[in-house]
Chain A
């Protein structure tokens, strides 16, 4: 029962992301791989155990947890950099407006 549900969910998510066209082809490929890996680790859960043993981690669930934390940090870093960039753009816009409309002591009607 779990397999068709997973496939349906995966298909819907991919269709949604693909329709947004905000990702490059490479990024889209990574998203597909990411979800495929997730689906596989659910269906064949002994695989994550073997992978955990390979990395010297106790359990498959632990490996997934570490991986999830890593993903979380990367997402946070990505948002942080975008935030800095937005700040830079905002500064530039506000500065240009300020310089384009200086108030000079003579023009009393402007303020």
Chain B
């Protein structure tokens, strides 16, 4: 890649933020594969009792440690704050459990450049999905409809952890939902701030591990409660 290649420039200068909680078994591999493509990786260890920090560090990531467990939303915001402090011009968010494919980053960077947008959101429905359970599919589709109604964003996938922000977008977004309602909150803010956005097809692999780590359906009610609470008190 040459220096005139804008996609390569983004990948070389971007920070990848990975929120992680109890991911000691996989996080090192995820970081290593990522760093082959995008060298600056920051893992936010959300108060894990295991060796997540050590493993991420061994993989070559910068590690930020939450003294106590705060939730994924809080971890993302911590990582984004750090990336901004380090002068990052582009910020990716990426899941620690290995469901995302590092190869997706280049595609997202290309879409950012070609469509001249502030935010690129990964979409599993435009891309490849491997081994998704039917109930999960139904809930995710329902969330898409819900979001379209709530924030007016026309997206095919509203709960994908793979995202790319320009510095301008990342510094204006502020995640206050510490737990899992942050995905909807983020989209609300993209809509409210009138940021330009596009979707990129990304590949998601559902392994037994990522399914076990992922959101339970029972967590849905908590998320909805958090969303409605935020709306009332805004």
Contact = CB atoms under 8 A, between A and B. Distances in A.
Interface size class of B (residues with CB under 8 A): 20 to 34
Nearest to B44: A98
Contacts of B66: 94-95, 98
Interface stretch (B75-83, B106-114, B120-128, B210-218): B75-83
Interface string A18-54: 0000000000000000000000000000000000000
A90 B68 CA distance: 9
A97 interface: yes
B30 interface: no
A105 B67 contact: no
B64 A88 contact: no
A15 interface: no
Given A94-B68, A98-B65, A98-B66, A103 B74 contact: no
A101 B45 CA distance: 13
Specify the main secondary structure of chain B where it touches its partner: mixed
A78 interface: no
Contacts of B42: 102
Interface stretch (B52-60, B95-103, B161-169): B52-60
A99 B81 contact: yes
Nearest to B42: A102
B192 interface: no
Interface string A47-80: 0000000000000000000000000000000000
Given A91-B178, A95-B78, A111-B53, A102 B62 contact: yes
B176 interface: yes
Nearest to B58: A105
Nearest to B86: A102
B70 interface: yes
Interface of A: 87-88, 90-91, 94-95, 97-99, 101-105, 111
Interface of B: 42, 44, 53-54, 57, 60-68, 70, 74, 77-78, 81-82, 85, 176, 178
